[in-house]
């Protein structure tokens, strides 16, 4: 066999392999880089689904840089929806019956107070109990509500947003101010707890009921 021929053949083969290597290498690097990016993305939570994990783990979507105070003190629109599960009171045939110490039936409550031209429109609603109290109250009630917000540091909840698949906590809070500022908070699920220092639904139930009574809106027949 011609030695020179074999040398030429081997040299040509090595050249082809070298060229092929340079073509494959970028693809290999790209695939590896993509895989690393996927790992990094998932580790930092950017590519994961925003739905709660099946095991009930809390999904935290809070905006940690949300302002924790407002410059304005002029509330124009207040709305809060929450679950009230306190069983204080007494039961009759397995059904919760409000009493003097606990006049609020269990269920999902919606409390709203909206500024109008010269007054404010108030509503208290618990659909599961068939209860609705609504009417016009003085604009001064909005000022009193802002005092309640400041007393309990409600603005500290701004940006809070947690949820899971377990039953329990429920809160949808929004407070809009004349300045365009707002306070929002959301919690859903048994593990999506809120700091007790800044949230207690009884503060708002008592507040709304007091002003409903003062303005002749909360009547005895409104209580189941």
**Per-residue pLDDT averaged across 133-141, rounded?**
96
Same-domain status, 33 and 131: no
Same-domain status, 34 and 76: no
**Per-residue pLDDT averaged across 207-217, rounded?**
93
- Judge whether 106 lies within some domain: yes
Q: How high is the mean pLDDT of the chain?
A: 74
Look at 191 and 117; give whichever has higher pLDDT.
117
**pLDDT for position 69:** 87
Same-domain status, 78 and 167: yes
Last residue in a domain, options 14, 29, 48: 48
- Judge whether 54 lies within some domain: no
- Residue 197 neighbours by CB distance under 10 Å: 9
Same-domain status, 158 and 75: yes
Same-domain status, 31 and 104: no
**Per-residue pLDDT averaged across 151-164, rounded?**
85
Which residues neighbour 138 within 8 Å (Cβ) at sequence distance 6 or greater? Answer: 119, 120, 215
CA quadruple 79, 179, 135, 98: dihedral, nearest 10: 30
Question: Which has the minimum average pLDDT: 72-76, 163-167, 179-183?
Answer: 163-167
Q: What's the CA gap between 76 and 115, in Å, rounded?
A: 5
- Domain range enclosing 133: 59-222
Question: Which has the minimum average pLDDT: 114-118, 172-176, 177-181, 187-191?
Answer: 187-191
Same-domain status, 184 and 217: yes
Tally of domains within the chain: 2
- Judge whether 5 lies within some domain: yes
Quickly list DSSP for 20-52: HHHHHHHHHHHHHHHHHHHHHHHHHTSSS-SSP
Same-domain status, 81 and 148: yes
- Judge whether 14 lies within some domain: yes
Q: What's the CA gap between 23 and 123, in Å, rounded?
A: 71
Q: What angle do CA 133, 216, 149 make, to 5 degrees?
A: 65
- Tokens encoding 62: 């809070």
Same-domain status, 124 and 204: yes
């Amino acid at each position: 066999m011609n030695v020179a021929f074999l040398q030429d053949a081997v040299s040509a083969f090595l050249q082809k392999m070298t060229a092929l290597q340079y073509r494959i290498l970028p693809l290999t690097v790209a695939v590896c880089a993509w895989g690393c990016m996927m790992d990094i993305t998932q580790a930092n939570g950017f590519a994961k689904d925003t739905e709660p994990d099946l095991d009930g783990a809390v999904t935290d979507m809070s905006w940690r840089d949300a302002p924790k105070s407002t410059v304005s003190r002029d509330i124009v629109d207040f709305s809060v929806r929450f679950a009230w599960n306190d069983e204080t009171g007494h039961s009759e045939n397995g059904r919760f019956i409000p009493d003097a110490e606990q006049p609020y039936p269990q269920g999902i409550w919606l409390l709203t107070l909206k500024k109008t031209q010269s007054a404010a429109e108030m509503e208290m609603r618990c659909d599961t109990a068939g209860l609705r109290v609504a009417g016009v109250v003085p604009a001064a009630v909005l000022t009193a509500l802002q005092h309640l917000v400041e007393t309990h540091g409600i603005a500290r909840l701004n940006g809070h947003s947690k949820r899971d698949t377990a039953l329990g906590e429920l809160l949808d809070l929004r407070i809009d101010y004349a300045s365009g500022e707002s306070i929002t908070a959301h919690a859903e699920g048994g593990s999506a707890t809120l700091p007790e220092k800044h949230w207690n639904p009884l503060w708002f139930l008592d507040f709304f009921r007091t002003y409903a009574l003062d303005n002749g809106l909360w009547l005895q027949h409104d209580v189941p």
